[in-house]
Amino acid sequence: MYQFKMPEFKVNMEINKPDPYPLLSEGMKRVIDYQAEHSKDAFDTNCSWTELREKYIEERKFWNEGGPEPFKVVNTEVEGPIGPVPVRIYYPDEKPGRNALVFIHGGGFTVGSNDTHDRMMRCVMESGDCVVIGVDYHLAPEAKFPIPLYESAAVVRHFHEHAEEYNISPDKMAIGGDSGGANLALAANLYLRDAFGGNDYICALLLYYGSYGMFDGYSWRLNGTALDGMTKADMLAYVSYYLEEGMADMENPYFSTLNNDLTHGVPAAYLCCGDLDPLLGDSQALHAILKSRGVHTKLEIVPGALHAFMHYGRMMEEAVHCLKESGEFYVSVRRGA
């Protein structure tokens, strides 16, 4: 008689993923080839978070060169729950009362700053014809969830309530961000709605390849490798830094925002994501939910693009296009188009 028993095995989500390199767009290939020569292993999370930050800062320097020049840049601070939050304000010109976008940088809640996202913010300043306010929230693991969320919301409230001091309009504001910053942007909008009596002064969200609570699915099974630092192990490393030990907040609706009530208080939303990004499913799900609720929403899926492609405008027309389209989306929403 046969003896039945389970063979030895270990879970490996990566083994069945196709090699992404042949699937990349020409621009994305140029980026990956450049990184292989100049910043190999920049996104490898198999190191201390201090080292990861240093690698990230160094890798981003090249990509932030060039781009639109602001009329004026002001660095200041906003009081937050654990102390001052540095902010950077980009003014396109000296015209008074311009609308403002609060931009929250990505980096897995653990790395990144206004410096690492400088060009991206300057590009949206130009295409959105607006003031852009960058938020240097405190990073994990020193500042865990929900501190970066509270800080992001505090910055939005501050500039809404003190708009005249900064020569901006208090109305028709937008919140935007990339990756973890997109998570914080959507969460901040929902938090302001729920905790402070309304968010009707926010008219648009610009969300670039955000994480909204899906940690499996079609895009997760096919995408995310060492090329973009987006394996399941990488993502869980970032989340473990951000959430408290035991990760009891994994399903918290201000972290996994797809668990929140999206039936009201969500303004017009522009979403974009590469088709080789494991987070693509998050953007598709959010887009479908908002569309079903009658929210004006636009989703751009970029062929052959990996996670974080919008940093690479020096080599990728796709990045230039999406930064332009997202800014113009904000303009059209302000005008009621």
Q: Which residues are catalytic?
A: 179, 277, 307
Q: Is 270:329 a contact under the CB 8 Å cutoff?
A: yes
User: Of 236, 208, 213, 157, nearest to 330 (Cα)?
Assistant: 208
Going 324 to 330 to 331 to 337, the CA torsion angle's sign is: positive
Distances (CA, A) of 116 to 121, 236, 333: 10, 22, 28
Q: Counting beta carbons within 10 angstroms of the beta carbon of residue 115, is it exposed (0 to 12), middle (13 to 18) or buried (19 or more)?
A: middle
Q: Is 330:201 a contact under the CB 8 Å cutoff?
A: no
Give every strand in the sheet of 131-135, ordered side by side: 72-80, 83-91, 131-135, 100-104, 173-178, 202-208, 268-274, 297-302
Token readout for 251 is 């399903």
Q: Is 310:178 a contact under the CB 8 Å cutoff?
A: yes
